[in-house]
Structure 1
């Protein structure tokens, strides 16, 4: 049986930080992006596939297909799950996917968001999703890159 080695919330999904630091840190060999809009956008999918190092498998799936894959991780797969928002993880949990921990890596400023912690912003709806995720016995923390410290979010809610 394979495993989920990292579950990360990041607006940008795939970018240099994820590709270098987190791949090395986790030993991941399969990146699974779960995002309905991205899964339906062939141009964005082709751009993202170019950003993935050779030897790393990439799957870009909507929530339903993502839940099906993540509920039964194939043997030998060390999966890094990436999603843009906490509501995606909450949907995956509601569909039976098990996560021990979800990290918040990049949630930038937007019109509907306010500063949550340092350079991380969240809307009220996203904070409610954090609460529900934590209520499902999933640890959540802010952890931008592996060699920096992390901050549990319970005290910030």
Structure 2
């Protein structure tokens, strides 16, 4: 069974930091994007495929398809999960996918979001979702790049 070496929230999904720092740090060889909208957009999927280094596999799944893939995956890959929101990860957890850790890397300012930590923003609903993820037993940290000190999100929710 494949191992989840990183589960990361980043509203940009694949970009330079993920490709260089996190792939190298985790030894990951298979990126799994979990996003309903991206999964339906063939052009965007093609752009993502061109962004992935040679030798690294890429799958783009809707949330429901990701749950099925992760629960039934029989490969020996080191998976990097990428999603735009905490809601995608909470859906995975509710669907029976075990996540020991979740890294918050990029949640930019948007309508309904307020500053959460440095340049990370979250809505009230997203803050509640973080609480639910933590209550489910997943450790959630803000960490932009591997060399940054991790900051536990639980301490930011009070």
Task: Please state which band the TM-score falls in when normalised by the shorter chain.
Answer: over 0.9
Partners of 1:72 and 1:148 lie apart in 2 by 33
Instruction: State the number of aligned residues.
Output: 157
TM-score under structure 2 normalisation? 0.97
Query: In the superposition, relative to structure 1, how do residues 73 and 5 fare at CA in structure 2: closer, same or farther (>3 Å)?
Result: farther
Contact 1:3–1:73 under 8 Å retained in 2: no
Q: State the match for 2:100 in structure 1.
A: 100
Partners of 1:85 and 1:31 lie apart in 2 by 16
Partner of 1:108: helix, strand, or coil? coil
The alignment yields a C-alpha RMSD, in angstroms, of: 0.7
Q: State the match for 1:18 in structure 2.
A: 18
Post-superposition CA distance 1:104-129 (Å, at most 9, x none): 00000011100000010000010010
TM-score under structure 1 normalisation? 0.98
How far 1:70 moved relative to its partner?
1.2
1:46 aligns with 2:42: no
Aligned counterparts, 1:72-87, within 5 A? 72-87=72-87
Contact 1:101–1:138 under 8 Å retained in 2: yes
Where do 5+ consecutive residues of structure 1 fail to align? none
- Runs of 4+ in structure 1 off by over 2 angstroms are 72-75
How far 1:74 moved relative to its partner?
2.7
Partners of 1:109 and 1:119 lie apart in 2 by 8
How far 1:43 moved relative to its partner?
0.7
How far 1:72 moved relative to its partner?
3.1
How far 1:151 moved relative to its partner?
0.1
Post-superposition CA distance 1:4-52 (Å, at most 9, x none): 0000000000000000000000000000000000000011100010000
